[in-house]
A and B are shown apart, each in its own frame.
Chain A
Amino acid sequence: AQKITQTQPGMFVQEKEAVTLDCTYDTSDPSYGLFWYKQPSSGEMIFLIYQGSYDQQNATEGRYSLNFQKARKSANLVISASQLGDSAMYFCAMREGRGNYGQNFVFGPGTRLSVLP
């Protein structure tokens, strides 16, 4: 079963508008973390935002916010005031489990965002 689903292979948004990138996940582990990464055309993976399963509030980082709906198992990324430099692939990822060391990630297929001038 797919653990991370991103239903939007591609999205367009007008510059300065807000856009929401969808992500739903599947896990039976009560402890998990959700992440969003940006991959521009240069190829590197850039960490954007993190939400822990026990976090009470939605995560925010500058223009990025995560709309975390635990009961629906969704963790949508909201980008406000889109900029041309936001054009990139966006990956939703989940880390399951607990422990003192990092666990591996499961990634979604990605959404390609194009910001129009």
Chain B
Amino acid sequence: EAGVTQFPSHSVIEKGQTVTLRCDPISGHDNLYWYRRVMGKEIKFLLHFVKESKQDESGMPNNRFLAERTGGTYSTLKVQPAELEDSGVYFCASSRLRHEQYFGPGTRLTVT
């Protein structure tokens, strides 16, 4: 089966611009997670979808970040407007069972 895919693999934008990251989970996985790793720091949880519903968004840093999951399939994470400190790698993961989380390759975001 296909793994978790993320698009784009790398995005370079200017401060103040908008960027939308996309994640396609493994087919049949109801759980979808977003994480990010900022400048060599720890990987931090952002939010968790169960199907199309936000189960936990306690990790979202501020209201410049908006995540959606249309129809319980793919998910998008929009950053608007982007700030310098948003630079990092954004990972998406999906799972069917509790103890399996399969990660995508990540999107490297660079805000200049």
Contacts and interface: CB of A to CB of B under 8 A. Distances in A.
Interface of A: 33, 35, 37, 42-47, 50, 52, 91, 93, 95, 98-110
B105 A42 contact: yes
Given A104-B33, A104-B56, A33 B45 contact: no
Given A98-B98, A101-B98, 20 more contacts: A43-B106, A44-B103, A44-B105, A45-B91, A45-B106, A47-B100, A93-B43, A95-B98, A95-B101, A99-B98, A101-B31, A101-B55, A102-B33, A102-B48, A102-B97, A102-B98, A102-B101, A105-B43, A107-B44, A108-B42
A47 B102 contact: yes
Interface residues of B, number: 29
5 contacts: A95-B98, A102-B33, A102-B101, A104-B45, A107-B35
B99 A52 contact: yes
B45 A106 contact: yes
Q: Specify which of B35, B99, B108 lies most central, judged by the most chain A CB atoms within 10 Å of its CB.
A: B99
Contacts of B55: 101
Contact of B99 (A37, A43, A45, A50): A50
